[in-house]
């Protein structure tokens, strides 16, 4: 058995009483999100009412999931934690590093060869530390988690932003950075600001061409890409019951596009049926037995405005299929208005490629509905105008879809079946195109459509839609085609109207698979080999502890101006391949940050020789001479993703302090976890006092204590000095991290 049934028995046996105690101490009825969060408090003795959006709370998640691009650094850190095995069930999924090119078979061979050392590393670490390993080709992390691990009422963290997909089975599942995953795997508390709650009431029932994807495409238009920040989106209302568990997962998955912490649905028969169809009847029965605890309380449904911070209502019966884009997933347009929008904005009307797959839309239901349209196109002799690419979500889905003839339906109209992996969704797409400079349009069933994401081409206009709408537009090859109202002309010159998509939630003969690609952790320890010559993997040496002295006369490395996100600090794209090699990836450190003194990126003063060089190069030269340096920045430093490389790279290159006007919360925590000093200006205008060739001291560290400011002293090149107060937010534990050199050193 892949999941741990004994753990789940204990979980369900105590879940109801934990919720009851929480409700008593809070003194009111609860939403589903609150029930799950309170039932997962790290310290159950700490029961009290936490203020949403304000209080930081420690939780004890049940599981961890990691994908191969982020798992490398997470596991390298975990190896230094001094633990024998993961404290909670955890899995690694090899899905991001497989490039889509010629088709599944060829591409898998290429990936297995080119990523061999990374896969070998991930599998051996997993085997040694009690972590389940899903081989390349086994499927996309979130689909595999939904099929095997997600459970109603549970709490999970995953090192991928679409982890909330598991909300389709009523789980609070949150995307985090590797350092957070390590906290959970080492059994430490995991901290989160108590999220606000957005209630989305669904009424009516989806019909015709409308699909679960259209619910979130419409909601993205309402909330915009920032509207869900620091909030959990909880769906409720009678409309939820008619949506399949995989459809619910699609909706939760794309909650990441509005910035939501996570999304979730209440437990119902659809979830029960999905658990049973995926060999988890025992879990379904246990969840059935405590059903009322896996839903919001009746008072919440009656009076949602009192319990949610915001309530939005969507009538599924009236919902039109939507198509969102280009360049941002919140540009939502109902299909009836889309042709006009295309013409008005001059989007390239010709649709050049249709792509169906990704963790958002690659379930059996998705494929079967899209296949029904493909079958009609074939039998009605419609010429398919654009190339079609399919990435199944998992080997179980691929095998079953193959057995049931769904893949043949796609192949009959010329589709290429790629590996069960992310592929084009993460930019791992060797697109076959004659001209990269031409403006062009593609439609995908994915979740993100930022410029360059799928094919690296800024001229590509990517639109996201449901798999069925993607299929219809691929057949038409025309962005202005509306399958609800328009006809197509077939090879015989006849006008053909596409029929409404038809599919089944589950395969009529059940799911099947020969080799699901899972490798259970081994009983015996084996040697974890990392080639010292490797360009992609490097053993992580623990960072040195604090030497007990103030940080004196550090040269300024860069004074960054304006936005400085984690992408500016540690770029993605071609640097993805070095995610397991701290030294090599550190070459990208701060290369996107703008130098306040010359307006340039990656050109800073080297105070050793007076020249201008790349930020990482200057930092390396300082480090080689045993000199520490300091980075100065403006507001919300480190916003964006939770990638820990953005904190580890400066740490590795001997940057000791980040002095900013303010920090993004997750990044500030990441800096603290890596033993860095993250401080803010007490008076923001002091930023202006920093000169290009300054040396800066931070003093007061010998009496480093919570709520006690430190002092910065600027030594200007003209011999003058200035000093001012800087503020920190370190608590006792975080000061211990700083002194020990990192949180991991403390854990160890």
* Catalytic residue IDs: 95-96, 160, 448, 641, 643
Q: Based on the shown chain and the rule CB under 6 A, indicate whether residue 425 belongs to the binding site for ligand F3S.
A: yes
Q: Based on the shown chain and the rule CB under 6 A, indicate whether residue 389 belongs to the binding site for ligand F3S.
A: no
By beta-carbon proximity to ligand F3S, the closer residue of 23 and 96 is 96
Return the residues of window 105-124 that contact ligand F3S according to CB under 6 A: none
By beta-carbon proximity to ligand F3S, the closer residue of 360 and 697 is 360
Stretch that binds ligand F3S, among 1-9, 72-80, 137-145, 176-184 (CB under 6 A): 137-145
CB of 97 to ligand F3S, least distance (A): 11
Give the other-Cβ count within 10 Å of 75's Cβ: 29
d(C-alpha 72, C-alpha 4), whole Å = 24
In sequence order, the 6+-apart residues with CB closer than 8 A to the CB of 282 are 5, 8
3-state secondary structure of 426: helix
Binding test (CB under 6 A) with ligand F3S, winner from 447, 516, 670, 697: 447
d(C-alpha 116, C-alpha 93), whole Å = 14
Given a contact cutoff of 8 angstroms between Cβ atoms, the answer to whether 52 and 38 are in contact is no
CB of 229 to ligand F3S, least distance (A): 19
Number of residues that bind ligand F3S (CB under 6 A): 13
3-state secondary structure of 57: strand
d(C-alpha 444, C-alpha 463), whole Å = 6
CB of 139 to ligand F3S, least distance (A): 10
φ/ψ (deg, to 5) at 562: 75, -155
By beta-carbon proximity to ligand F3S, the closer residue of 392 and 503 is 392
3-state secondary structure 86-144: CCCCEEEECCCCCCECCCHHHHHHHHHHHCHHHHHHHHHHHHHCCCEEECCCCECHHHH
CB of 162 to ligand F3S, least distance (A): 5
CB of 486 to ligand F3S, least distance (A): 30
Q: Based on the shown chain and the rule CB under 6 A, indicate whether residue 250 belongs to the binding site for ligand F3S.
A: no
d(C-alpha 506, C-alpha 18), whole Å = 34
Pairing state of beta strands 551-561 and 629-633?
parallel
By beta-carbon proximity to ligand F3S, the closer residue of 142 and 218 is 142
**Among 548, 299, 573, residue whose Cα is nearest residue 454:** 573
d(C-alpha 380, C-alpha 377), whole Å = 5
Q: Based on the shown chain and the rule CB under 6 A, indicate whether residue 141 belongs to the binding site for ligand F3S.
A: yes
Q: Based on the shown chain and the rule CB under 6 A, indicate whether residue 619 belongs to the binding site for ligand F3S.
A: no
3-state secondary structure of 701: helix
By beta-carbon proximity to ligand F3S, the closer residue of 250 and 697 is 250
Binding test (CB under 6 A) with ligand F3S, winner from 140, 258, 564, 596: 140
CB of 87 to ligand F3S, least distance (A): 25
Given a contact cutoff of 8 angstroms between Cβ atoms, the answer to whether 149 and 65 are in contact is yes
First to last CA, the chain: 32
CB of 66 to ligand F3S, least distance (A): 11
Q: Based on the shown chain and the rule CB under 6 A, indicate whether residue 57 belongs to the binding site for ligand F3S.
A: no
Q: Based on the shown chain and the rule CB under 6 A, indicate whether residue 466 belongs to the binding site for ligand F3S.
A: no
Q: Based on the shown chain and the rule CB under 6 A, indicate whether residue 100 belongs to the binding site for ligand F3S.
A: no
By beta-carbon proximity to ligand F3S, the closer residue of 355 and 744 is 355
Binding test (CB under 6 A) with ligand F3S, winner from 250, 278, 324, 358: 358
By beta-carbon proximity to ligand F3S, the closer residue of 157 and 657 is 157
CB of 685 to ligand F3S, least distance (A): 41
3-state secondary structure of 343: helix
Q: Based on the shown chain and the rule CB under 6 A, indicate whether residue 418 belongs to the binding site for ligand F3S.
A: no
By beta-carbon proximity to ligand F3S, the closer residue of 320 and 330 is 330
Stretch that binds ligand F3S, among 45-53, 110-118, 134-142, 657-665 (CB under 6 A): 134-142
CB of 261 to ligand F3S, least distance (A): 17
For residue 595 the two structure tokens come to 């130098």
Q: Based on the shown chain and the rule CB under 6 A, indicate whether residue 176 belongs to the binding site for ligand F3S.
A: no
Is the bond into 139 cis (omega within 30 degrees of 0)?
no
d(C-alpha 311, C-alpha 292), whole Å = 22
By beta-carbon proximity to ligand F3S, the closer residue of 189 and 567 is 567
Q: Based on the shown chain and the rule CB under 6 A, indicate whether residue 422 belongs to the binding site for ligand F3S.
A: yes
Q: Based on the shown chain and the rule CB under 6 A, indicate whether residue 426 belongs to the binding site for ligand F3S.
A: yes
Q: How many whole angstroms from its chain centre is CA 349?
A: 31
By beta-carbon proximity to ligand F3S, the closer residue of 37 and 75 is 75
Stretch that binds ligand F3S, among 138-146, 273-281, 363-371, 698-706 (CB under 6 A): 138-146
Binding test (CB under 6 A) with ligand F3S, winner from 359, 417, 556, 593: 359
Q: How many whole angstroms from its chain centre is CA 728?
A: 29
CB of 140 to ligand F3S, least distance (A): 5
Q: Extract long-range pairs of 616-622: CB within 8 Å, 24+ residues apart.
A: 616/586, 616/587, 616/588, 616/589, 616/590, 616/591, 616/649, 616/653, 618/557, 619/557, 619/589, 619/650, 619/653, 619/654, 619/655, 620/653, 622/555, 622/557, 622/654
Give the other-Cβ count within 10 Å of 344's Cβ: 9
CB of 96 to ligand F3S, least distance (A): 6
d(C-alpha 480, C-alpha 252), whole Å = 29
Stretch that binds ligand F3S, among 140-148, 372-380, 563-571, 654-662 (CB under 6 A): 140-148
By beta-carbon proximity to ligand F3S, the closer residue of 142 and 295 is 142
**Among 91, 69, 60, residue whose Cα is nearest residue 160:** 69
Given a contact cutoff of 8 angstroms between Cβ atoms, the answer to whether 92 and 122 are in contact is yes
Q: Based on the shown chain and the rule CB under 6 A, indicate whether residue 280 belongs to the binding site for ligand F3S.
A: no
Stretch that binds ligand F3S, among 139-147, 171-179, 382-390, 522-530 (CB under 6 A): 139-147
- Binding site residues, ligand F3S, CB under 6 A: 95-96, 140-142, 160, 162, 358-359, 422, 425-426, 447
């Amino acid at each position: 058995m892949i999941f741990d049934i004994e753990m789940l028995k204990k979980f369900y046996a105590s879940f109801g009483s934990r919720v009851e105690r929480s409700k008593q101490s809070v003194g009111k009825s609860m939403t589903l999100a609150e029930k799950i969060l309170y039932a997962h408090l790290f310290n159950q003795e700490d029961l009290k009412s936490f203020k949403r959006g304000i209080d930081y709370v420690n939780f004890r998640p049940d599981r961890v999931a990691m994908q191969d691009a982020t798992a490398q650094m997470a596991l390298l850190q975990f190896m230094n934690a001094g633990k024998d095995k993961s404290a909670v069930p955890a899995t690694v999924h090899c899905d991001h590093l497989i490039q889509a090119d010629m088709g599944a078979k060829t591409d898998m061979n290429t990936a297995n060869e080119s990523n061999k050392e990374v896969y070998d590393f991930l599998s051996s670490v997993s085997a040694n530390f009690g972590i389940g390993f899903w081989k390349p080709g086994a499927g996309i992390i979130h689909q595999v988690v939904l099929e095997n691990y997600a459970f109603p009422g549970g709490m999970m963290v995953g090192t991928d932003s679409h982890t909330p997909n598991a909300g389709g089975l009523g789980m609070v599942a949150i995307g985090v950075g590797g350092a957070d995953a390590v906290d959970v795997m080492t059994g430490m508390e995991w901290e989160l600001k108590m999220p606000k709650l957005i209630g989305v009431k669904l009424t009516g029932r989806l019909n015709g061409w409308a699909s679960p994807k259209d619910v979130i495409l419409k909601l993205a238009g309402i909330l915009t890409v920032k509207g869900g920040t620091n909030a959990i989106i909880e769906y409720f209302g009678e409309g939820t019951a008619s949506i399949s568990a995989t459809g619910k997962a699609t909706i939760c998955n794309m909650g990441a596009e509005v910035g939501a912490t996570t999304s979730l649905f209440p437990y119902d028969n659809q979830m029960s049926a999905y658990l049973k169809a995926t060999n988890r009847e025992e879990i379904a029965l246990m969840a059935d037995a405590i059903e009322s605890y896996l839903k919001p309380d009746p008072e919440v449904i009656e009076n949602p405005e009192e319990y949610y911070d915001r309530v939005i209502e969507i009538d599924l019966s009236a919902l039109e299929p939507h198509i969102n884009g280009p360049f941002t997933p919140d540009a939502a347009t109902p299909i009836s208005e889309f042709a006009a929008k295309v013409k008005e904005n001059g989007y390239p009307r010709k649709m050049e490629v249709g792509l169906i797959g990704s963790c958002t839309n690659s379930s059996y239901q998705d494929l079967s509905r899209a296949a029904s349209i493909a079958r009609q196109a074939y039998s009605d002799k419609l010429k398919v105008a654009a190339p079609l690419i399919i990435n199944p979500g998992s080997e179980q889905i691929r095998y079953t879809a193959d057995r049931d003839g769904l893949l043949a339906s796609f192949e009959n109209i010329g589709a290429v079946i790629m590996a069960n992996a992310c592929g084009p969704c993460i930019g791992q797409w060797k697109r076959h195109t004659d001209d990269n400079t031409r403006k062009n349009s593609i439609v995908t069933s994915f979740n993100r459509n930022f410029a360059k994401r799928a094919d690296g081409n800024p001229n590509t206009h990517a639109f996201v839609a449901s798999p069925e709408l993607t299929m219809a537009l691929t057949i038409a090859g025309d962005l202005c085609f509306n399958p609800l109202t328009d006809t197509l002309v077939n090879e015989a010159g006849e006008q053909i109207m596409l029929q409404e998509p038809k599919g089944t939630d589950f395969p009529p003969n059940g799911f099947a698979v020969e080799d699901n690609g899972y490798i259970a952790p081994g009983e015996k320890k084996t040697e974890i080999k990392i080639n010292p010559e490797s360009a992609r993997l490097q053993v992580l040496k623990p960072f040195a502890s604090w030497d007990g002295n103030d940080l004196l006369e550090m040269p300024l490395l860069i004074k960054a101006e304006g936005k400085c996100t984690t992408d500016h600090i540690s770029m993605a794209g071609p640097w993805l391949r070095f995610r397991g090699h701290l030294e090599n990836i550190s070459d990208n450190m701060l290369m996107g940050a703008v130098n306040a003194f010359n307006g340039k990126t990656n050109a800073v003063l080297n105070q050793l020789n007076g020249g201008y060089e790349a930020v990482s190069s200057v930092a390396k030269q300082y480090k080689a001479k045993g000199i520490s340096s300091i980075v100065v920045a403006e507001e919300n430093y480190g916003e964006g993703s939770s990638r820990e490389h953005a904190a580890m790279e400066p740490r590795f290159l001997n940057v000791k302090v980040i002095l900013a006007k303010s920090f993004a919360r997750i990044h500030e925590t990441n800096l603290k976890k890596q033993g860095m000093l993250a401080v803010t200006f007490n008076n923001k205008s002091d930023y202006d006092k920093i000169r290009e060739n300054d040396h800066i001291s931070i003093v007061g560290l010998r009496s480093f204590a919570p709520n006690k400011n430190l002092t910065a002293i600027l030594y200007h090149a003209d011999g003058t000095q200035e000093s001012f107060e800087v503020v920190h937010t370190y608590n006792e534990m975080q000061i211990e991290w700083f002194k020990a050199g990192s949180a991991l050193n403390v854990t160890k």
